[in-house]
């Protein structure tokens, strides 16, 4: 089956620092990847859509200068949280869309900003 | 844009019983309807999906039904087991765009 990996699974950083999260589709090519944020006991909140080789499309209210997304290849997208603050602490999940349109999710990254 | 509503928000069943989760959507252009299972601390896992050209799809103990006229679709889990306990999300989107919208989720608890 289609597998999407995310790294790291957990990260703790200090306020003001930047954190990079990687999302990889391991056994399929994904022209489109998505980044979500999930608060406890809530649904998935789409942050941005990234297409390979082009700029990401951000959802309303998501600061593109704070959440930098790069989709450099058909199997890798990265999310960088810049100048992190405690309110950025959350569960970040990526997903990748296959050519047959199924969307597969990564295992998520728990970010804690102290 | 698409709006997906999901009911119930919580569901508790006895092991062996069936569980049904229902979703409605608003955009008649939506033609792809996946269901995801999310266990605590993990990412959502695609468990079954249905496209608008069929009304029902089954995979072992899991089935999904779709009523395009009424704009609703449902997940049916038969012979539930404790390991089915998780949060389930429905979603809907037109198949050729990026606008997939998720329901709020249903927390299913299967009591042994």
> Tens digits of per-residue pLDDT, B18-44?
999 999 999 999 999 999 999 999 999
Q: In terms of C-beta density within 10 A (0-12 exposed, 13-18 middle, 19 or more buried), how is residue B62 classed?
A: middle
Which residue does chain B place closest to A45, by CA atoms? B102
Q: What mean pLDDT comes out for the span B44-72?
A: 94
Closest CA to A20 of A79, A66, A73: A79
Instruction: Give residues 10 to 69 of B whose Cβ lies within 8 Å of A.
Output: 32, 34, 36, 41-46, 49
Interface A:B, Cβ pairs < 8 A: 42
Q: Would you call B46 and A105 a contact, using CB atoms and an 8 Å cutoff?
A: yes
- Among chain B residues, the shortest Cα distance to A110 is held by B41
Cross-chain Cβ contact A44/B43 below 8 Å: no
CA distance A89 to chain B (A): 14
Ranges assigned E (strand) in chain B: 4-7, 10-14, 19-25, 32-38, 45-51, 56-59, 62-67, 72-77, 86-92, 101-102, 106-111
Q: Report the pLDDT value the prediction gives residue A54, as an integer from 0 to 100.
A: 84
Question: pLDDT grade, residue B58 (50/70/90)?
Answer: very high
CB-based contact A96:A79 (threshold 8 Å): no
A43–B45: do the CB atoms touch at under 8 Å? no
In this predicted model, what pLDDT tens digit does every residue of A66-108 receive, in sequence order?
999 998 888 999 999 999 999 999 999 999 998 888 899 999 9
Asked whether the predicted pLDDT for residue B95 surpasses 80, the reply is no
């Amino acid at each position: 089956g289609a597998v999407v990996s995310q790294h790291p699974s957990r990260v703790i950083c200090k306020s003001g620092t930047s954190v990079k999260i990687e999302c990889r589709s391991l056994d399929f090519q994904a022209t489109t990847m998505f980044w979500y944020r999930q608060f406890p006991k809530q649904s998935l909140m789409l942050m941005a859509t990234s297409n390979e080789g082009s700029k990401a499309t951000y959802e309303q209210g998501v600061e593109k200068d704070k959440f930098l997304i790069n989709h450099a290849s058909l199997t890798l997208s990265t999310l960088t949280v810049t100048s992190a603050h405690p309110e950025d602490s959350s569960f970040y999940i990526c997903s990748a869309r296959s050519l047959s349109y199924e969307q597969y999710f990564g295992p998520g990254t728990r970010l804690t900003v102290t | 844009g698409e709006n997906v509503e999901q009911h119930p928000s919580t569901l508790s069943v006895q092991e062996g019983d069936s569980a049904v989760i229902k979703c409605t959507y608003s955009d008649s252009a939506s033609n792809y309807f996946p269901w995801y299972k999310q266990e605590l601390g993990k990412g959502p896992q695609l468990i079954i999906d249905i496209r608008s050209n069929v009304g029902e799809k089954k995979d072992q103990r899991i089935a999904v039904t779709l009523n395009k006229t009424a704009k609703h679709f449902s997940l049916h889990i038969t012979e539930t087991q404790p390991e089915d306990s998780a949060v389930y999300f429905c979603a809907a989107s037109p198949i050729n765009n990026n606008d997939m919208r998720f329901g709020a989720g249903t927390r299913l608890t299967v009591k042994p």
